């Protein structure tokens, strides 16, 4: 059966899911997106994703065309219509399609809202067991990375470089420090068992999974320091990992081909992954 997408109020087969060539998402990357995981047909940590969506659209003065409560209903209906068990729901809202290509905001134009789902076995993914290698690339992005904008060209280039190097993610570097992964937050566990991840601010996206993992770690009396770290520090660490809605917690075993510790996923990463999966299952809607 053909996949069903949601476009501006309608559920339609993917082959009929279309927006205008004048859509500002297409012309200017004038839009915001969110990705929430689905486990056993339920949305994971979706309140956090919808809160970030509201914040992102607010930062670019874009009004959501639906309430977040309605957006969640649409997400759920889309999951049901696609019989999605494990995977993710992608949603994007743009400033809509004007009659031309003026940079300034159009007046009286309804934002575009689209959603689609994709299948992924997040729990059973082979890289969940093996860990991944990361490469490092310069962080070429703009200075408002806290906004989950669809302007992702820097990440496209970073993740293409990673793919060509056989790596699973690219860690982006600015002023000698890791900002974050192309589509994930970056963590290390130091030799004295401190969990380190960069502090939120305009240099990184405030990851929903990052937020949950930091809170879950602190609840378990693990020391967490929110600060930037260098690649030298990561290579001297006990463990390294990434977090995101679509990988949860995933070990990083090499950086630019050099091993982190013994080059195997570390026990704390495994434990935090289990704790996150429990949290995900317990809070699924």
- Our CA dihedral for 207, 213, 218, 222, rounded to 10 degrees, sits at -120
Among 232, 204, 198, 220, which residue's Cα sits nearest to residue 274? 220
Residue 180 interacts with ligand PLP (CB under 6 A)? yes
Residue 183 interacts with ligand PLP (CB under 6 A)? yes
Catalytic residues: 148
Please write down the long-range contacts of 70-76, taking CB distance under 8 Å and 24 or more positions apart: 71/113, 72/43, 72/46, 72/285, 74/6, 74/115, 75/36, 75/43, 75/46, 75/115, 76/43, 76/285
Rounded to a whole number of angstroms, the minimum distance from the CB of residue 35 to ligand PLP is 6
Residue 207 interacts with ligand PLP (CB under 6 A)? yes
**Closer of 4 and 53 to ligand PLP (Cβ):** 53
Which helix (H) or strand (E) element contains residue 281?
helix 267-283
Rounded to a whole number of angstroms, the minimum distance from the CB of residue 145 to ligand PLP is 7
Among 245, 227, 90, 231, which residue's Cα sits nearest to residue 170? 231
- Which residue from 89, 115, 208, 214 is in contact with ligand PLP, where contact means CB under 6 A? 208
Residue 46 interacts with ligand PLP (CB under 6 A)? no
CA angle centred on 112, ends 101 and 2, rounded to 5°? 120
Question: Site mask, ligand PLP, residues 231-250, x = CB under 6 A?
Answer: ------------xxx-----
Radius of gyration over every alpha carbon of the chain, rounded to an integer in angstroms:
19
Residue 209 interacts with ligand PLP (CB under 6 A)? yes
Question: Site mask, ligand PLP, residues 134-153, x = CB under 6 A?
Answer: --------------------
Span from 103-111, 127-135, 207-215, 267-275 in contact with ligand PLP (CB under 6 A): 207-215
Residue 210 interacts with ligand PLP (CB under 6 A)? yes
- Residues binding ligand PLP (CB under 6 A): 35, 180, 183-185, 205, 207-210, 243-245
């Amino acid at each position: 059966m053909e996949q069903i997408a949601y476009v501006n109020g309608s559920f339609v087969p993917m082959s009929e899911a279309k927006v205008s060539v004048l859509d500002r998402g297409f012309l200017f990357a004038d839009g915001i997106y969110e990705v929430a995981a689905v486990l056993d047909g339920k949305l994971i940590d979706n309140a956090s994703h919808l809160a970030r969506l509201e914040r992102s659209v607010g930062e670019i003065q874009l009004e959501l065309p639906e309430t977040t409560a309605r957006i969640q209903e649409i997400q759920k209906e889309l999951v049901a219509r696609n019989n999605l068990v494990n995977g993710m729901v992608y949603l994007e809202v743009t400033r809509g399609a004007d009659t031309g290509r003026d940079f300034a905001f159009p007046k009286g134009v309804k934002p575009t809202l689209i959603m689609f789902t994709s299948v992924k076995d997040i729990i059973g993914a082979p890289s969940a067991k093996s860990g991944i290698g990361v490469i490092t690339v310069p962080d070429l992005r703009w200075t408002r990375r806290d906004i989950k904008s669809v302007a992702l060209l820097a990440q496209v280039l970073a993740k293409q470089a990673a793919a060509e190097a056989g790596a699973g993610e690219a860690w982006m570097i600015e002023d000698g420090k890791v900002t974050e992964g192309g589509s994930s937050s970056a963590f290390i566990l130091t030799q004295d068992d401190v969990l380190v991840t960069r502090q939120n601010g305009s240099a990184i996206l405030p990851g929903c999974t990052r937020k949950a993992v930091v809170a879950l770690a602190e609840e378990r009396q693990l020391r967490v320091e929110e600060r930037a770290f260098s690649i030298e520090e990561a290579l001297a660490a006990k463990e390294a990992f990434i977090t995101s809605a679509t990988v949860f917690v995933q070990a990083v075993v090499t950086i630019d081909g050099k091993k982190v510790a013994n080059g195997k996923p570390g026990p704390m990463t495994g434990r935090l992954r289990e704790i996150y999966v429990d949290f995900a299952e317990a809070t699924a809607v």
